[in-house]
Amino acid sequence: MKRLHHCLSNSLDDSVPVSSEWFADIVNYCPSTTEGLTEGEIALVHRTQTNWLVGAMTALFMLQTACSTMMRDARVPPPAQARHCEGSEFVTSTHMATLPIPLVAFFTPRVTLNAPDSGVALNKCGGKQQVNRKVEANYALCAPTIFLSTIITLGIAGVCPANVSYEADVVD
């Protein structure tokens, strides 16, 4: 089967519809790897390769859209005496139901506690003046963890971890 995967990936692209002509082309192009296989088995291998590509592209898209810029200053030349400060940390926020009754809590509004704050992140840099500030939060881990924690607590609470990265040019 591994040789059939390699042969299929080199012979046809995913835009080719599966038909009798397609099966005949594959048998002619890959005679040693298709020996003893039915048309359905070859089509299954071809469709499986397509599904992996779609899944990988979807995962990449979801990871990229999970980023949120919390603060971004216009870029200016930093003063001569400025030092660059940057870092990142994980911040966990909690989403609590306003009516904490199991199962009923799924349908009530939520309150967010310990939400990531750009001011708290930039305070780690210190200094009297900060220019070229940028704070971003990556919520890629939030979707699975908030789903699982909300299900486990029967809708009462959900936990959302975020990776907050910050940078600034600081004048002391």
- Would you list the domain boundaries of the chain? 2-63, 68-171
Residue 168, pLDDT > 60, answer yes
Strand partners, 137: 68, 164
What residues contact residue 88 under an 8 Å CB cut-off, 6+ apart? 163, 164, 165, 166
Question: Are 91 and 145 contacting, i.e. CB atoms less than 8 angstroms apart?
Answer: no
Number of CB atoms found within 10 A of residue 83's CB: 13
Rg (CA), the chain: 26
Residue 54, pLDDT > 90, answer no
Say which residue, 75 or 46, is predicted with more confidence: 75
Q: Give pLDDT, residue 24.
A: 55
pTM: 0.59
Say which residue, 16 or 60, is predicted with more confidence: 60
Residue 39, pLDDT > 60, answer no
Q: Give pLDDT, residue 152.
A: 95
Question: Are 29 and 11 contacting, i.e. CB atoms less than 8 angstroms apart?
Answer: yes
Report phi then psi at 66, rounded to 5.
-85, 0
Per-residue pLDDT reduced to its tens digit, 105-162:
999 999 999 988 888 899 999 888 889 999 999 888 888 898 999 999 999 999 999 9
H helices present in 73-141, as ranges = 118-123
Band (pLDDT 50/70/90 cuts) for residue 163 is: very high
For tokens 């926020």, the residue is 93
Given 3-state DSSP classes, what are the helix, strand and coil percentages for the chain, each rounded to the nearest 5?
40, 30, 30
Band (pLDDT 50/70/90 cuts) for residue 1 is: very low
